[in-house]
Chain A
Amino acid sequence: MLSIKNLTASINGTPVLKGIDLEIKAGEIHAIMGPNGSGKSTLGKVLVGHPAYEVTGGEVLYEGKNLFDLEPDARARAGIFMGFQHPIEVPGVSNASFLRLAYNKKAEAEGRDELDPLEFDDFIHEKIKLVAMKEEFLDRSLNEGFSGGEKKRNEILQMAVLEPKFAILDELDSGLDIDALRVLGDAVNKLQRADRALLIITHFPRILETIQPQFVHVLSGGRILKSAGKELAIELEERGYDWVLEEAATGGVR
């Protein structure tokens, strides 16, 4: 589904990604872990086309096509989604209106029927159950005054509405209490299917107990230092990141 080859990227002229290789197939869940400032979030933002980052080399194929030929909105309509660590607040635009607009733009792109406000009302009421969101959050302005946890809930609601083929979730667990994390983790699991893939970006392994990846990668200094199965997450929980960094520095490969 997604094939990343020797990807390099910079922000304001400073290299942040220094040669990433990653292969993600339909049905797979991958986790990118690593210390703060390692480039994890950058990888996600580069994939969805954040304008602050410049791709300086390498290639990314999404469903066999050059991802960088697509503008950010076209990537979204093609089924790519990123749940952000710090979702933006948009005053004056109701959450429900925004969700309906986003849904209809995607439906239009896929040649499906758009939903009118009444139809969408039924549709969205089913979706908010999935993420246990209170109805009042639909009428409020998009993310405005939402707590950190409410914003994350709203990101997963957007994911549930848009049903992306490939979703990147950046630090989903930050700002969430244990119960909310379980609810949102379960929601993400329900949305995952054999024809979809997930990339979980996280500093802490906690979230991987709910959303269980088949592959775990440690990213540091803009490179993937180590890739393994989900047992790597457990080892990172016990031992931290330093040993991976040391191992990479001495050229050791386990």
Chain B
Amino acid sequence: MTLAVTTSFLADLLGGPRPAEWDELREDAEARLAGRDLPTTSDEDWKYTDLKALAALSFVPAPRTTVDISGHLLPEMVGTRQVFVNGHHAPHASCASAVPAGVRFLPLSTASEACHSLGSLENGPEKDFFEDLNTARFEDGAVLLVPKNMKVALPLHLLFITKAETPVAVFPRLMVVLERGAELELVEEHHGTGTYLTCPVVEVQVGEGAILRHERVQRDSEDAFHIGTLKAEVAKGGQYHSRTISFGARLSRQQPWVRLAEGAEATLDGLALLDGNQVADTHSFLHHAEPKATSHQLHKCIVDGKARAIFSGKIRVAPRAQGTDARQQSRNLLLSEAARVDTKPQLDIYADDVKCSHGATVGQLDPEELFYLESRGLNADDARNLLTYGFAADVLRHIPVASLRRALRQLVMARTQAGSLGDLA
């Protein structure tokens, strides 16, 4: 087939053969892409996030390769992991022997019969450029199905690793379906080396009364671009609790979209630790579509060097969503003169009986907190480092997987110079 591709960026990515299966889905995505181009800062949604550096590079689809994953294993998840390297399933690195019977936790490539609902979230938002790129070219991905009323005791682990010798693009894909009353903890991690573009697309369906706890860790290479889309639909009385930790990438953007049915609950927490010239952008959309749903969002950024954080948090309360309770907080700590934060909460409320609150702070450490610690004998540097660590660790403390919580705290300690204070993790 021929494709009316206008830019070399798209030509490089879409020029090659289309991966197997999902032809219809891919054709639709390609058709939408044909008339489009990389977003620019004149697009309202991309006003603060400049993709010029991305556009200047040429990416090709990532080849198959192997990596050593020993440094990424978590003891709680020895037999419950699926690993994808450069977008391809890595069977030898994966081990799903401890996944309980009945739970489907497989690569898409071997589970196609179970994945008819891929890309079919009914009420999803308009498809984004990078989501369409993923749909057009993903090679493989993971599918995770938890049957009715099954409460999975062990956390499941998904590792997406990219190894780039030359600039490559990878399109991780994940579909998670929890049937009515099911419960699951899922850890999704992104790591990598070299220069690459990764555009993960995660689709989540939480059934009636089901509970999904989703920890997301982005530790991509310092030369990477990570532009991720997450779409979650939470059915009546269901709960979706996610926490996205962004440490890596030269430029990262998270685009979570969550739709809540009646009485559903969502947590959409985030933490970004940025330094150098890093850019981290979060554009979230919480849709209270039906009555009596609850959402909590705490988004924190620590920005040092010349780094830049962007937060745009939309909350939409539909006319019939009476009894909505929505809380959003964007808190940002600037550690240098050149660091920058743009934060924009946005509440669109069309119902009258609702509790909605939002707040945004951008600033330095609180002098009263610093003094309190100094009055207990900590010198000014130690007090600053401890408070900076605490600012970040606050987001990590409810992570249920102990080894992950500890590893992330240690990473935060290293990044906030709190390492000299001894083991706080």
The residues of A with any CB-CB pair to B shorter than 8 Å are 48-51, 71-73, 75-77, 81-82, 84, 87-88, 90-94, 97-98, 100-102, 104-106, 109, 117, 141-142, 158, 162
With A51-B367, A101-B386 known as contacts, the answer to whether A92 contacts B372 (CB < 8 A) is no
Contact of A88 among B369, B378, B382, B423 (CB under 8 A): B369
CB pair A73–B374 under 8 Å, yes or no, is: yes
CB pair B380–A73 under 8 Å, yes or no, is: yes
With A72-B374, A97-B424, A109-B377 known as contacts, the answer to whether A141 contacts B397 (CB < 8 A) is yes
Contact of B378 among A48, A102, A158 (CB under 8 A): A102
**CB-defined A-B contacts under 8 Å, sample of 27:** A48-B375, A49-B374, A71-B374, A72-B371, A72-B375, A73-B374, A73-B383, A82-B375, A87-B372, A88-B368, A90-B369, A90-B387, A91-B390, A91-B394, A92-B392, A92-B394, A93-B387, A93-B390, A98-B376, A98-B386, A101-B378, A101-B421, A101-B424, A102-B377, A105-B379, A109-B377, A162-B376
Q: Which residues of A contact B387 (CB under 8 A)?
A: 90, 93
Does more than half of chain B's interface fall in helix, strand or loop, or is it mixed?
A: helix
With A73-B379, A117-B423, A162-B377 known as contacts, the answer to whether A90 contacts B372 (CB < 8 A) is yes
| CA–CA, A245 and B391, complex, Å | 46
CB pair B382–A51 under 8 Å, yes or no, is: no
Closest A residue to B383 by beta carbon equals: A73
| CA–CA, A91 and B333, complex, Å | 14
Q: Which residues of A contact B393 (CB under 8 A)?
A: 92-93
| CA–CA, A73 and B390, complex, Å | 19
Closest A residue to B379 by beta carbon equals: A73
| CA–CA, A76 and B371, complex, Å | 11
Q: Which residues of B contact A117 (CB under 8 A)?
A: 423
Q: Which residues of A contact B367 (CB under 8 A)?
A: 51
| CA–CA, A49 and B372, complex, Å | 11
In the complex, chain B residues 273-318 whose Cβ is within 8 Å of any chain A Cβ? none
Q: Which residues of A contact B397 (CB under 8 A)?
A: 92, 141
Is B171 engaged at the interface, CB distance under 8 Å to the other chain?
no
Q: Which residues of A contact B396 (CB under 8 A)?
A: 92
Nearest-neighbour CB distance to chain B for A74, whole angstroms, equals 8
Instruction: Using C-beta atoms within 8 Å of the partner chain, give the interface range for chain B.
Output: 20 to 34
Q: Which residues of A contact B74 (CB under 8 A)?
A: none
Q: Which residues of B contact A50 (CB under 8 A)?
A: 371, 375
CB pair B369–A77 under 8 Å, yes or no, is: no
| CA–CA, A137 and B116, complex, Å | 50
Q: Which residues of B contact A90 (CB under 8 A)?
A: 369, 372-373, 386-387, 390
Q: Which residues of B contact A88 (CB under 8 A)?
A: 366, 368-369, 372
Q: Which residues of B contact A109 (CB under 8 A)?
A: 377
Q: Which residues of B contact A84 (CB under 8 A)?
A: 372, 375
Q: Which residues of A contact B379 (CB under 8 A)?
A: 71, 73, 105
CB pair A94–B374 under 8 Å, yes or no, is: no
Nearest-neighbour CB distance to chain A for B377, whole angstroms, equals 4
Question: Can you add 13 more A-B contacts, CB < 8 Å, to A72-B371, A92-B395, A162-B376?
Answer: A71-B374, A72-B375, A76-B376, A76-B377, A88-B372, A90-B390, A92-B394, A98-B373, A101-B421, A101-B424, A105-B378, A105-B382, A158-B376
| CA–CA, A140 and B392, complex, Å | 15
Nearest-neighbour CB distance to chain A for B100, whole angstroms, equals 31
CB pair B394–A102 under 8 Å, yes or no, is: no
Write out, one digit per residue, whether chain B residues 353-381 have a CB within 8 A of any chain A CB (1) or not (0): 00000000000001111011111111110
Is B160 engaged at the interface, CB distance under 8 Å to the other chain?
no
CB pair A51–B386 under 8 Å, yes or no, is: no
CB pair B422–A104 under 8 Å, yes or no, is: yes
CB pair A93–B386 under 8 Å, yes or no, is: yes
With A51-B367, A84-B372 known as contacts, the answer to whether A106 contacts B377 (CB < 8 A) is yes
Nearest-neighbour CB distance to chain A for B424, whole angstroms, equals 5
Is B257 engaged at the interface, CB distance under 8 Å to the other chain?
no
| CA–CA, A92 and B380, complex, Å | 18
Q: Which residues of A contact B383 (CB under 8 A)?
A: 73
Closest B residue to A140 by beta carbon equals: B397
In the complex, chain B residues 391-409 whose Cβ is within 8 Å of any chain A Cβ? 391-397
With A104-B422, A141-B394 known as contacts, the answer to whether A76 contacts B389 (CB < 8 A) is no
Closest B residue to A96 by beta carbon equals: B424
With A51-B367, A84-B372 known as contacts, the answer to whether A73 contacts B422 (CB < 8 A) is no
Nearest-neighbour CB distance to chain A for B241, whole angstroms, equals 19
CB pair B368–A77 under 8 Å, yes or no, is: no
Closest A residue to B418 by beta carbon equals: A93
The 4 closest A-B pairs by CB, nearest first: A92-B390, A92-B394, A92-B393, A76-B377
Q: Which residues of A contact B421 (CB under 8 A)?
A: 101
Nearest-neighbour CB distance to chain A for B298, whole angstroms, equals 10
| CA–CA, A158 and B375, complex, Å | 11
Q: Which residues of A contact B375 (CB under 8 A)?
A: 48-50, 72-73, 75-76, 81-82, 84
Closest A residue to B380 by beta carbon equals: A73
With A92-B389, A97-B424 known as contacts, the answer to whether A105 contacts B394 (CB < 8 A) is no
Q: Which of B369, B372, B389, B391 has the most CB of A within 10 A?
A: B372
Q: Which residues of A contact B374 (CB under 8 A)?
A: 49, 71-73, 76
CB pair B422–A100 under 8 Å, yes or no, is: yes
| CA–CA, A13 and B395, complex, Å | 40
| CA–CA, A49 and B383, complex, Å | 15
| CA–CA, A94 and B380, complex, Å | 19
Nearest-neighbour CB distance to chain B for A150, whole angstroms, equals 16
Q: Which residues of A contact B395 (CB under 8 A)?
A: 92
Closest A residue to B386 by beta carbon equals: A93
CB pair A105–B391 under 8 Å, yes or no, is: no
| CA–CA, A229 and B195, complex, Å | 76
Q: Which residues of B contact A97 (CB under 8 A)?
A: 424
| CA–CA, A76 and B391, complex, Å | 24
| CA–CA, A105 and B253, complex, Å | 41
Write out, one digit per residue, whether chain B residues 107-122 have a CB within 8 A of any chain A CB (1) or not (0): 0000000000000000
Nearest-neighbour CB distance to chain A for B374, whole angstroms, equals 4
Q: Which residues of B contact A106 (CB under 8 A)?
A: 377
Contact of B389 among A71, A72, A93 (CB under 8 A): A93
| CA–CA, A76 and B382, complex, Å | 14
Q: Which residues of B contact A162 (CB under 8 A)?
A: 376-377
